[in-house]
Amino acid sequence: MEIVKYPQRESWKDLLKRPRIDHSELENVVSEILVDVKNNGDKALKDYSLKFDKVELKDFKVSQAEIDEANLRIDEPLKKAIGIARGNLEKFHDSQKVTGRIIETTPGVRCWLKSIPIEKVGLYIPGGTAPLFSTVLMLGIPAKIAGCNNIVLCTPPGKDGKVDPAILYTANFIGLKNIYKVGGVQAIGAMAYGTETIPQVYKIFGPGNQFVTAAKQMVNRQGIAIDLPAGPSEVAVIADHTSTPAFIAADLLSQAEHGRDSQVMMFTIDENITELVKEEVIRQLAVLPRKDIASAALQNSKFIVVSSINEMMEMINEYAPEHLIIAVDDYLKYEQKVVNAGSVFLGQYTPEAAGDYATGTNHTLPTNGFAKIFSGVNLDSFVKKVTFQYITEYGIFNIGPAIQCMAAQEDLLGHKNAVTIRLNKVTKK
């Protein structure tokens, strides 16, 4: 952990740099698999499952028997916890429903916006060493609330040909029916192009390793929408003299344990807190099971001391962190100045881990500075908004002349005529 004090503005860019992600060298191998899946469908999926997952599958679709087995393997406390998370996520995402009011922009001219679910969406859930059943909740719940008709979930099988029971339990619990045991690039290809077994979708959501990420980028260029550009997870924590060093250290480590390329930053105007937090990090790191990963991530971490809150918030907005924890008593002072962040955690009792699982907000968030432009996954990610308009005879009488005038100025006389021909009929009446 490097402590940087009162950096010059010219050094910001360098200080706030992220680990470079470049998937271009993977493109050939990823592209080859995608083409194969596109051309050979299920056969290609079987080949790659054997090659990468070391398993020979007869059927990709998860059966009722497999779901029943997963139900038995998940204990009651975990079921209860998943139930709590589900309830909170449902409440919050349900509150994001927008009912398009009808706006009469001119007498006789009515406009409205209607949210219509994207019909076919695909959710990718990684398996392997870190099966993320929480991501099933984060993607499946808004997809269900939005009303998407066809929700496909792909997740890799283990060597025993089975899917992680927590993933299966959770998917079934929230009502997902189409679960397929396919992972990696081949799963992205299957959802992008469709195979005999796996239906094609319009938009693909979910995290994954660098191959999965490269595959999502590639099918995105071919017209399949994706949730967000991917990058390593990251957190910025704001501390001051009211902060609890042990809390902050725990938050920094909870981010650092995600991966070696995770980013962990602390910002403060209080020099003293940096040493206190550093000591706590060392103490807590020593007993952390994922110590090796966290240590590697901490190599790139920085504690930045600045001279004013304004300067700090400018810097953080320039960094645009995925997660921002304002771990101080008087968080309002900072909160108002947040412009670029994925999700913000306020006060001393709001760890980022809470948002990863159960507050109700979504944990699929923009990384790598994309919080400047993009929202995290929310209900809108699963709908498109279609505009409707209805003009009465009186309405066209009112706005018709303006349209004629503007269309004529743009030399689009066919446009003008579509109005004239109606105005003639209205005024003749």
List residues with catalytic annotation: 322-323
To a copy of itself, the closest distance from the beta carbon of 163 in angstroms equals 15
In the bound state with a copy of itself, the residue whose beta carbon lies nearer, of 49 and 172, is 172
CA distance 26 to 122: 23
Beta strands 109-117 and 383-391: pairing type? antiparallel
CA distance 294 to 252: 9
In the bound state with a copy of itself, the residue whose beta carbon lies nearer, of 186 and 350, is 350
Q: What is the 3-state secondary structure (H, E, C) of the chain?
A: CEEEECCCHHHHHHHCCCCCCCCHHHHHHHHHHHHHHHHHHHHHHHHHHHHHHCCCCCCCECCHHHHHHHHHHCCHHHHHHHHHHHHHHHHHHHCCCCCCCCEEEECCEEEEEEEEECCEEEEECCCCCCCCHHHHHHHHHHHHHHCCCEEEEECCCCCCCCCCHHHHHHHHHCCCCEEECCCHHHHHHHHHHCCCCCCCCCEEECCCCHHHHHHHHHHHHCCCEECCCCCCCEEEEEECCCCCHHHHHHHHHHHHCCCCCCEEEEEECCHHHHHHHHHHHHHHHCCCCCHHHHHHHHHCCEEEECCCHHHHHHHHHHHCCCEEEECCCCCHHHHCCCCCCCEEEECCCCCHHHHHHCCCCCCCCCCCCHHHCCCCCCHHHHEEEEEEEEECHHHHHHHHHHHHHHHHHCCCHHHHHHHHHHHHHHHHC
In the bound state with a copy of itself, the residue whose beta carbon lies nearer, of 223 and 308, is 223
In the bound state with a copy of itself, the residue whose beta carbon lies nearer, of 282 and 405, is 405
To a copy of itself, the closest distance from the beta carbon of 160 in angstroms equals 19
To a copy of itself, the closest distance from the beta carbon of 142 in angstroms equals 12
**300 CB-near residues (< 8 Å, 6+ apart):** 19, 261, 263, 264
To a copy of itself, the closest distance from the beta carbon of 420 in angstroms equals 8
In the bound state with a copy of itself, the residue whose beta carbon lies nearer, of 89 and 153, is 89
To a copy of itself, the closest distance from the beta carbon of 335 in angstroms equals 7
In the bound state with a copy of itself, the residue whose beta carbon lies nearer, of 35 and 412, is 412
To a copy of itself, the closest distance from the beta carbon of 123 in angstroms equals 15
Q: How many CB atoms lie within 10 A of CB 115?
A: 18
In the bound state with a copy of itself, the residue whose beta carbon lies nearer, of 149 and 308, is 149
To a copy of itself, the closest distance from the beta carbon of 421 in angstroms equals 5
